Amino acid sequence: MDILFPQNPMGLPVAKAMTSEDGECVEWKYNLVLDGPAEVWLLGLEHTMRVVLRDQLILTRAALRKCKYQREQWINDWPGQLGITSSKIQWTSDCTRTLCRCEIMKEKKPLKKLRKKQNQILATLQMMSRKEISKILRAKVNALCVIEIHSRDTVDRMYKMGCMNVTAFEWFSQLKFYWDREREDCYIKQTNTNSIYTYEYIGNSGRLVITPLTDRCYITLTTALHLFRGGSPQGPAGTGKTETVKDLGRALARWVVVTNCSDGLDYKSMAKCFAAQSGCWGCFDEFNRINIEVLSVVAQQILAVLLALSLFQKRFIFEGNDIKLDPNCGIFITMNPGYAGRTELPDNLKSMFRPIAMCVPDSLIIAENTLFSDGFTAYKINAKKVFTLYQLAMQQLSKQEHYDFGLRSMVALLRYAGIKRRAYPNLPEQEMVILAMRDMNVARLTAKDVPLFDGIMQDIFPDVEIPTLDYDMLETAITAEMRLAGLQPVKAALHKVIQTYETKNSRHSSILLGDTNTAKSVSWRMLAATLTRLNREKQPGFEVVHTFPMNPKALTLGELYGEYNLATGEWKDGVLSSIMRTTCQDDSPDMKWIIFDGPVDAIWIENLNSVMDDNKLLTLVNSERISMPAQVTLLIETLDLAVASPATVSRNGMVYNDYKDWGWWPYVNSWLDTIESPEYREM
């Protein structure tokens, strides 16, 4: 959240509105003068934010009750976060009323009517998502689609299971939003737990697709908070552990601070996190990477917070300081058991967290919802085909360290398909999905797996021709840059540069993989030069590229990420933290590529996990957090991923350079071009 700070006639800064990352702006009724001690006006800002959002929620609810099914104007007029909350309050009210009717009438017909109403709402939302709409409105529509699909599916499930009253477990276990008319306030119930809506402005951050696994995780986490415990989702990489915690936070209007844990964290750094998070939720990603010696002290710190919560204290002593305690705070940890560099948690720490296993995500439901919210008509068929492709690819293609056909890869493909649908609205939907499948997967395949993958594609889409996109302008510019550098613009070279371009467009972190002499460095250098050339030629959609290459293995962890001077206690920035601080503060539209050229191992790359996933956040040992904007991307150039964990592989787009595609003729021809004698050259 950002605050707008103009100046009043006396020259003092005033806060008059708040804006989210995507540009949504919520104006305040009155201005807040930012004068005096910082801690006083910061508390004033927080209080004003909550008051404004509560007043706006009352108005949003009133507007929703008037418009019933036709919600286009309503979605446009009100903030996205409050729109979702109002929809959930309305749905809870409708379901409660319908279940009471079912009990009186002794039949399920009212649930059928409610399902019809939900389908009408979804039809309106899907119609909106197919139109040319602004970025902010699209974010609102997509998030509402996800929520309303889950609402419809829940009603459908209750109808099939024969739920006839409000005590049925299927209804009892749902996250239900109620409006207290006496207090004019929103509260949330799930099973036996009660939570209040805390009116933290989250903005238009998209919502997670809610599947049966997500519902089970919500029940565990809300019950953990009710019992004054922490929550601990556990499972392999890419199953939605961190995202589920963040999404529950968004639903309850809590600010979730994600910290990427590393073995460099000590108990003092952790104490800063717990002390700072007395009013929000702390999610400690890959918690079992912290050293076992530090974990035993951390257990005592967490115990102090949870004990104070269970005693309903307003203030408590933490690490020798008397600090305020907000009863809405929560501590969550996520873990990948069994990966390299992970430790087993001590028993006294385990007992403070309620575990939930998240092993197999409901990928098909997620695929259907994602395609629906992007305006695809035949979303069920296309989702089934994408899901089948990934299942067959896992079973039939060769086993490579850099292959990942998990949930993260599938979601990236589906988002990319949505972007292509908007870019080429006249193409049939199936061709769009094929295009996304090829662009997102062929780049990572070895030479012998490409024919196998093409065969699977033809089996899934038997009568559909694979469309070809027009890359003429890009190919011409690449050829010119390669000639300028004295290189050979062979077909394989053009192909790999375009694959790198498409991969970088779809993922903000990519890995260029391949043996020595497979033109990995040439690929990214030529792409950077090509994009800069097209920008100079005033072609729309291309920006100047600045590159920041480094060899991570030539530096220690402290030199790379920064460290404390043990003698003086001063913080000294590392190479990466210094580069990221500079590039992330630069607001210009120029692209900045941070390039890691060297072997990948679990020691240095695991600290980048929160940068490479959707959080886009570098967490330093001194508790500082550097957020990465859209114009900054990561590119890792390496020989192999033999010692990289699945957590790293699943977070990156892959471009595999196979020596078989290149051969040695390009080297010979480039050398011959330097020979001046024509007779010698043509021998």
Same domain, 549 and 584: yes
Q: Is residue 593 included in any domain, yes or no?
A: yes
Q: Look up residue 227 and give its amino acid.
A: L
Amino acid 319: pLDDT:
82
**Which among 516, 534, 523 is positioned nearest to 495, based on CA atoms?**
523
Q: In this prediction, what percent of the chain has a pLDDT beyond 90?
A: 32
Q: Tens digits of per-residue pLDDT, 480-494?
A: 998 888 888 888 888
Helix (H) or strand (E) segment spanning residue 33: strand 25-33
Q: Are 281 and 256 in contact (CB under 8 A)?
A: yes
Predicted pLDDT of residue 352: 92
Q: Both 371 and 320 in a single domain?
A: no
Once rounded to an integer, what is the mean pLDDT over residues 121-131? Answer: 86
Residue 680 predicted with pLDDT over 70: no
Which of 433, 460, 487 marks a domain boundary?
Answer: 460
Judgement on whether residues 606 and 621 belong to the same structural domain of the protein: yes
pTM: 0.88
In this prediction, residue 3 carries a pLDDT of: 61
Tell me: pLDDT of 509 over 80.
yes
Q: Which residues contact 47 (CB under 8 A, 6 or more apart)?
A: none
Is 15 within a domain? no
CATH code, domain with 430: 1.10.8.710
**Are 280 and 310 in contact, with CB atoms under 8 Å apart?**
no
Range in 405-419, 528-542, 664-678 the model is least confident about: 664-678
- Give the phi and the psi of residue 235 in degrees, each rounded to 5: 160, 175
* Per-residue pLDDT, 12: 80
- pLDDT given for residue 534 in this prediction: 92
Both 625 and 479 in one domain: the answer is yes
Radius of gyration of the chain measured on its C-alpha atoms: 27
Residue-level pLDDT at 291: 85
| Domain enclosing residue 390, as ranges | 363-460
The CA-atom distances, in angstroms, between 536 and each of 191, 477, 501, 595 are 60, 11, 18, 23
Does one domain contain both 258 and 290?
yes
Give Cα separations from 149 to 117, 121, 371 (angstroms): 12, 10, 12
% of the chain with per-residue pLDDT over 70: 96
For residue 205, report the phi and psi dihedrals to the nearest 5 degrees: -70, 135
Please tell me the distance from the alpha carbon of residue 499 to that of residue 505, in angstroms, as a whole number: 10
Q: How far apart are CA 507 and CA 444, in angstroms?
A: 13
Q: Got the DSSP string for 327-348?
A: TT-EEEE-B-TT-TT--PPPHH
113 part of a folded domain: no
What pLDDT digit, counting tens, does each position of 519-555 carry? 889 899 999 999 999 999 988 888 999 999 999 999 9
Instruction: Tell whether 622 is covered by a domain.
Output: yes
The answer to whether residue 5 scores a pLDDT higher than 60 is: no
> Of 147, 173, 32, 164, which is closest to residue 109 (Cα–Cα)?
164
Residue 4 has pLDDT above 70, yes or no: no
Average pLDDT for 64-80: 84
Is the residue at 676 inside a domain?
no
The stretch 362-372 carries a mean pLDDT of: 91
- Please state the domain count of the chain: 3
Does residue 339 carry a pLDDT above 70? Answer: no
pLDDT at 2 (0 to 100):
57
Residue 282 located in a structural domain: yes
In eight-state DSSP terms, residue 7 is B
Give residue 1's pLDDT band: very low, low, confident or very high (50, 70, 90): low
What pLDDT is stored for residue 420 in this prediction?
83
Does residue 448 sit in the same domain as residue 375? Answer: yes
Answer yes or no: do 284 and 383 share one domain.
Answer: no
Same domain for 348 and 399? no
Q: What is the mean pLDDT of the chain?
A: 87
Gap between the Cα atoms of 611 and 620, Å rounded = 11
Which of the listed residues 460, 481, 516 is the one where a domain comes to its end?
460
Give the model's pLDDT for residue 322: 85
- Structural domain includes residue 256: yes
Residue 305 is encoded by which pair of tokens? 């917070």
pLDDT digits (tens, 9 = 90+) for 341-364: 677 888 888 899 999 999 888 899
Integer Cα distance of 152 and 169 in angstroms: 17
pLDDT at site 7: 64
Q: Are 335 and 428 found together in one domain?
A: no
pLDDT of residue 341: 63
Report the pLDDT averaged over residues 586-599.
91
Question: Pick from 460, 491, 518: which residue ends a domain?
Answer: 460
238 to 86, 241, 242, 397, 585: CA distances (angstroms): 31, 8, 9, 20, 29
- Element counts in the chain: helices (H) and strands (E): 26, 22
Residues 223 and 352 in one domain: yes
Give yes or no for residue 21 having a pLDDT over 60: yes
Q: Residue range 97-121: average pLDDT?
A: 89
- In tens, the pLDDT along 275-309 reads 655 678 999 988 888 888 888 888 888 998 999 99
CATH code at 330?
3.40.50.300
Question: Which of 191-205, 334-348, 561-575 bottoms out in mean pLDDT, i.e. has the lowest?
Answer: 334-348
Dist CA 134 CA 279 (whole Å)? 34
Q: What is the rounded distance in angstroms from the CA atom of residue 547 to the CA atom of residue 635?
A: 10
| Residue 446 in domain | yes
Q: Does the pLDDT of residue 683 top 70, yes or no?
A: no
- What is the helix (H) or strand (E) element at residue 93, kind and residue range? helix 80-105
Answer with the residue of higher pLDDT: 469 or 368.
368
Region 191-196 average pLDDT: 91
For residues 538 and 650, membership in a common domain is answered with yes
State how far the Cα of 129 lies from the Cα of 140, in Å rounded to an integer: 10
pLDDT tens sequence across 617-649: 898 888 888 999 989 999 999 998 888 888 888
Asked whether residue 334 falls in the same domain as residue 378, the answer is no
